[in-house]
């Protein structure tokens, strides 16, 4: 766990709930393996290690806001093998509000292990698209997650500040209704807009992204704002470098730091 504190005194915990494995090719889209494997070593099945970093925000209103919920524990043996996850015995945590960047199972499946006291906050567009799947999206949305979310659902149309200093920002492209979260204009939780530090390199766009040109445009804009404002950026799927300072958000810094960060990782 990494703990951050904003200048206003808001405490943010960055927690990797569970690691899993995904095909490296789909995570890097058009980037050839000779390039991405330096940043993400792969296993025999071409899979790379993924984190599910979520954040818990301890607000000075006394409430705890969580952003995203990780994979959760509702998987078949076949799914566990494909995703490289073992049996888990989750502890049931309580939070006041859960904010979801989008509704893909690796971001919201953990709702089954969470006690949400108030609302589950989701963008209206994302909710609509999750309920009307297409050939390309049906593998990412699960009915069982949506049923749990629906019980506490609060639909919003970002940009919106849901509590003082907690802003939900539209960052479309991965999905039409994808959002990110900015805390105290200082800490930016990117969701799947920039899933790992390696994706700071602009051409790294996932094959999962439904609107790649929109990802490129939004990512460029967000990185520009992050550097100008001095934001820290949190990468939801990066197991090696989950948090980076504004000054590190460019390809030259990435090349300089990345190799030493991933060195020594051994797959089972
Ligand atoms: Zn996603």
Examine residue 266 and state whether it is found in any structural domain, yes or no.
Answer: no
Q: Which position has the token pair 């940043």?
A: 39
End-to-end CA distance of the chain: 23
Token readout for 209 is 């992204």
Cα(60) to ligand 1 centroid in Å equals: 30
pLDDT in tens, 104-158: 999 999 999 999 999 999 999 999 999 999 999 999 999 999 999 999 999 999 9
Residue 86 pLDDT grade (very low, low, confident, very high; cuts 50, 70, 90): confident
Contact call for residues 235 and 197 (beta carbons, < 8 A): yes
Averaged over 224-228, what is the pLDDT? 97
pLDDT exceeds cutoff 80 at 87: no
pLDDT exceeds cutoff 70 at 266: no
Examine residue 268 and state whether it is found in any structural domain, yes or no.
Answer: no
Examine residue 173 and state whether it is found in any structural domain, yes or no.
Answer: yes
User: For residue 146, what are the domain limits?
Assistant: 2-257
pLDDT exceeds cutoff 70 at 264: no
Question: What phi and psi, each to the nearest 5 degrees, are found at residue 148?
Answer: -70, -40
Residues in the chain: 268
Examine residue 28 and state whether it is found in any structural domain, yes or no.
Answer: yes
pLDDT exceeds cutoff 70 at 25: yes
**What pLDDT sits at residue 209?**
98
Average pLDDT of the chain? 95
Examine residue 60 and state whether it is found in any structural domain, yes or no.
Answer: yes
Q: How far apart are CA 125 and CA 109, in angstroms?
A: 19
Cα(104) to ligand 1 centroid in Å equals: 5
Cα(34) to ligand 1 centroid in Å equals: 24
Cα(103) to ligand 1 centroid in Å equals: 7
Global pTM value = 0.96
**What pLDDT sits at residue 64?**
98
pLDDT in tens, 159-197: 999 999 999 999 999 999 999 999 999 999 999 999 999
Cα(265) to ligand 1 centroid in Å equals: 25
Cα(125) to ligand 1 centroid in Å equals: 14
Examine residue 267 and state whether it is found in any structural domain, yes or no.
Answer: no
Of the chain, the percentage scoring pLDDT greater than 90 comes to 91
Cα(7) to ligand 1 centroid in Å equals: 30
Q: How far apart are CA 232 and CA 53, in angstroms?
A: 15
Q: How far apart are CA 138 and CA 134, in angstroms?
A: 6
Examine residue 87 and state whether it is found in any structural domain, yes or no.
Answer: yes
pLDDT exceeds cutoff 80 at 265: no
Indicate if the alpha-carbon torsion angle 236, 241, 245, 246 is positive or negative. Answer: negative
pLDDT exceeds cutoff 90 at 65: yes
Which CATH number characterizes residue 204's domain? 3.60.15.10
Token readout for 144 is 């069982």
Examine residue 187 and state whether it is found in any structural domain, yes or no.
Answer: yes
Averaged over 78-86, what is the pLDDT? 93
| Domain total in the chain | 1
Q: How far apart are CA 181 and CA 189, in angstroms?
A: 5
């Amino acid at each position: 766990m990494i703990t951050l504190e904003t200048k206003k005194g808001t405490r943010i915990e960055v927690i990797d709930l569970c690691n899993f494995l995904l095909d490296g090719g789909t995570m890097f889209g058009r980037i050839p393996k000779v390039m991405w494997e330096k940043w993400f070593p792969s296993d025999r099945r071409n899979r790379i290690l993924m984190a599910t970093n979520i954040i818990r925000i301890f607000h000075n209103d006394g409430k705890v806001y969580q952003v995203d919920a990780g994979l959760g524990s509702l998987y078949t043996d076949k799914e566990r093998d494909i995703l490289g996850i073992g049996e888990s015995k989750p502890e049931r945590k309580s939070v006041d509000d859960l904010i979801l960047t989008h509704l893909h199972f690796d971001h919201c499946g953990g709702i089954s292990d969470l006690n949400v006291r108030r609302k589950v906050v989701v963008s209206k567009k994302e909710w609509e698209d999750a309920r009307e799947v297409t050939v390309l999206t049906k593998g990412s949305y699960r009915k069982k997650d949506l049923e749990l979310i629906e019980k506490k659902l609060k639909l919003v149309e970002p940009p919106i500040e849901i509590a003082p200093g907690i802003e939900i920002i539209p960052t479309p492209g991965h999905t039409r209704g994808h959002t990110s979260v900015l805390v105290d204009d200082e800490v930016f939780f990117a969701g799947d807009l920039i899933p790992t530090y390696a994706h700071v390199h602009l051409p790294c766009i996932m094959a999962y992204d439904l609107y790649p040109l929109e990802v490129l445009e939004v990512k460029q804009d967000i990185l520009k704002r992050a550097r100008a404002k001095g934001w820290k950026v949190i990468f939801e799927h990066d197991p090696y470098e989950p948090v980076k300072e504004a000054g590190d958000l460019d390809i030259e810094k990435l090349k300089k730091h990345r190799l030493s960060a991933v060195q020594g990782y051994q797959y089972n």
